[in-house]
Each structure stands twice: as C-alpha cells, then as structure tokens.
Amino acid sequence: MEKRILGKSGLEVSALGLGCMGLSFGYGPATQKAEAIALLHAAIERGVTFFDTAEAYGPFFNEELLGEALAPYRDSVVIATKFGFQDGDASKGVDSRPERIRQVTEDSLRRLRTDRIDLFYQHRVDPNVPVEEVAGTVKDLINEGKVKYFGMSEAGVQSIRRAHAEQPLAALQSEYSLWWREPEKEILPLLEELGIGFVPFSPLGKGFLTGAIDANTTFDKSDFRNIVPRFSAEARTSNQVIVSLISDIAAEKQATPAQVALAWLLAQKPWIAPIPGTTKVHRLEENLAAAALQLSSDELSKITEATAAITIEGARYPEHLQKRVGN
C-alpha cells in the first residue's frame, strides 16, 4: 500500500485508511465483535495503517473495539479519534470546552489502550468556544505527549485559519466524493495554501457510489441514511445517473464503480487520504485495490467534467445536522 504524508505535518498514513464508524454505529446493528476484529486485522495485513474512530461512535464502543484489535500493532498504525460532543453523544449537541477536551483525552487513551492519540480531531466546531481556545488546549496536550497531531472535521474556512494559527492542523476531515464536490471551491485551495492534509470520509457516498443501492433498497431502521434527504427513494432514483456514468468507466477499466470513485479521489491531490468504511472483508479488498488503479489524465478529466454536469438530488444531511457543518 502506497503511503502518503498529510500536508506539511510529516504524519505518514496509508493512501487509503479505514473509517471504522460503521462497525458499531450509524449503518444498522453493530458488527459482531469477532467479525469486526477480523476485519481490522485483515486491513492491517493488506497494508492499511490509518484507522479512524471517535468517542461518539457508539458512543464509546468503537474506540474500545479498536483498542482491543489494534493493541498488538500499536506502534505500526495511526489512530485518529475525535472530541466535541456532550458526553460523547452526538444527539446532545457540541461541547469543546477545554475541560471536556481533557476529559475525552483521558477516556479515549484508556479505551484505545494507548499512551498517545496520533490524530485528535475536533468533531464539529463549537460556536460557544473560540477555536483558538480549542487549538490551544490541543497544543498543550501535544506538549504533554498525550496527542501527536491536531485536526478538525467539517470546519469552515475561517475556523480552519484561526485554529491553524494557534496550533497547526495536520488534517481536515470532511465529506468529499464524486457526488459531493463542494470542498473543491474553498476548502482544497485553503488546505493547499496552509499545508494541511485532507481526509475525505464517505468517499463512496455512504455506499451509493458502489452501485449496490437503488430505489428499492431497504435500510435497517437504525440506519442513519433513513433520515438523509439524498437517500430518499426519489433521490436515489434520480441519482442513479452518476452511478451509471461511473459504472461505464469502470467497465472499460475492468474495475468496479467503487474502485473508480476512490482512484479519482486519490488522484486529486497527493495529500488526500480517503477513509472508506466497510464491514465486509471482500469490500475491504475491493476498496484497497483502488490504490493501484491508474486513471489517465484524459480519464480523470472525463470523470470530473461529466460528474460536474450532473445535478445531485437531495441534501447530504437533514436540516438539524446541516447546521453543524461548515462553521
């Protein structure tokens, strides 16, 4: 697996990481513990060194899972986790008070069975706490050796600038894929200017770009996608056009739609490290093969231009969650 450096930070990660949220949160019932650990070990065996979790995934179960699974490999992997919600519960709203950040740090270190957090993200910007105060708290934790690198998630341009001035960010984690290209307008140029790496989550459009989801797909009652406008039956029908486009290109390349979508993302910038998630080893293998898929400049241009001409139906978040992003 190719390695990449996140911006100017010096933090080296596998070109494709593993988003671990879906193993225990967000997309239906949690994966059985033994199966989840087997998947995490399979990822390591295939060259993945970058694992993404958060206290809010569960809450807490996901960190505990990674702590157990990754303990034997601790010095050869990069673990990213997050702070920023009240009591670690996203439904309760944001909380990035310095005392809360410190509490999360201690609790996450214990659950992850480690003495340091490699990459510590603010999960969402807290409008009640200046980002300089947040960054300063993480800076202190870095100086204490409990955290190695600082990151933010779904933050807006001004918050990124202000935080970075206080404590340089190694990475921004936000959604980016062929059906959500908003970061190209302001975020990517800013990250390039400041030397910050980019970690796209949902690089496969929460599964939609794989081609495995259509208007007839039924999600588990606990699946987050049930409340996402972009996943209404009508939107799924309308949005099949982008899947068809990617599928046509995939057929020409003897690849899968997921592999084309990930290869396109990897080709955008050398400091981008997507974190597709999965609960199945065969999907893991499919995704990781994308790192070796070469798209020519003509193919990349064709994909970029053709998808830009497609209007995607439906918002990517319900209204109450949309308010938390881009701040």
Residue 149 falls in the annotated catalytic set: no
Q: Amino acid identity of 57? A: Y
Q: Amino acid identity of 110? A: R
b/e 56-65 (16+ beta carbons within 10 angstroms → b) = bbbbbbbbbb
Q: Count the Cβ atoms, other than its own, within 10 Å of residue 25.
A: 21
The residue annotated as part of the active site, out of 27, 57, 121, 149, is 57
**Nearest residue to 275 via CA among 204, 220, 209:** 204
Task: At 127, give phi and psi (nearest 5°).
Answer: -65, -15
| Rounded Cα gap, residues 191 and 176, in angstroms | 14
| Rounded Cα gap, residues 138 and 143, in angstroms | 9
Cβ-based neighbours of 129, under 8 Å, separated by 6 or more: 96, 97, 98
For the annotated catalytic residues, the residue numbers are 57
